[in-house]
């Protein structure tokens, strides 16, 4: 079962950012599927690790674009990235220590954060890049 369905409303018109977002949605869906199938901590942990790593890769790419294009809201956008990374790393640490489990609330948080970030923050970024 997909928690999040990729569709055209998420396309921002920047090939690399759109490709990254598609990959992030796919990873969230893989994590959801693994959790619902009760595939175990090892399988879920590997997918969670991939998700965290890809978020970091994606954020670094966006932040390079922001710097290159002198994006006016770079500080705020980077702060959103940093806050998210702090939250997901804290969860990952708890998960690896055995004191946290995957839950629908975590998956919903990932979905809602990603949708909001794409539709608001990243949309504004791509529009600014296109305007330059």
- pLDDT tens-digit profile of 6-56? 999 999 999 999 999 999 999 999 999 998 898 888 888 999 999 999 999
What is the pLDDT averaged over residues 121-129?
A: 96
pTM: 0.90
| 131 — pLDDT class (breaks 50, 70, 90) | confident
**What would the 3-class secondary structure string for the chain be?**
CCCCCCCHHHCCCCHHHHHHHHHHHHHHHHHHHHHHCCCCHHHHHHHHHHHHHHHHHHHHHHHHHHHHCCCCCHHHHHHHHHHHHHHHHHHHHHHHHCCCCCCHHHHHHHHHHHHHHHHHHHHHHHHHHHHC
pLDDT at 124: 97
* In the chain, domain spans: 14-131
pLDDT digits (tens, 9 = 90+) for 53-77: 999 999 999 999 999 999 999 999 9
Fold classification of 14-131 (topology level): 1.20.120
């Amino acid at each position: 079962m997909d928690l999040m369905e990729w569709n055209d409303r998420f396309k921002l018109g920047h090939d690399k950012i759109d490709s990254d977002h598609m990959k992030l949605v796919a990873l969230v869906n893989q994590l959801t599927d693994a959790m619902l199938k009760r595939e175990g901590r090892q399988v879920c942990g590997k997918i969670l690790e991939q998700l965290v790593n890809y978020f970091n890769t994606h954020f670094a790419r966006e932040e390079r674009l922001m710097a290159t294009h002198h994006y006016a809201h770079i500080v705020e956008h980077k702060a959103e990235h940093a806050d998210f990374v702090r939250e997901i790393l804290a969860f990952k640490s708890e998960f690896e220590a055995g004191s946290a489990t995957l839950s629908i609330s975590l998956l919903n948080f990932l979905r809602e954060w990603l949708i909001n970030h794409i539709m608001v923050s990243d949309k504004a970024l791509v529009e600014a890049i296109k305007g330059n």
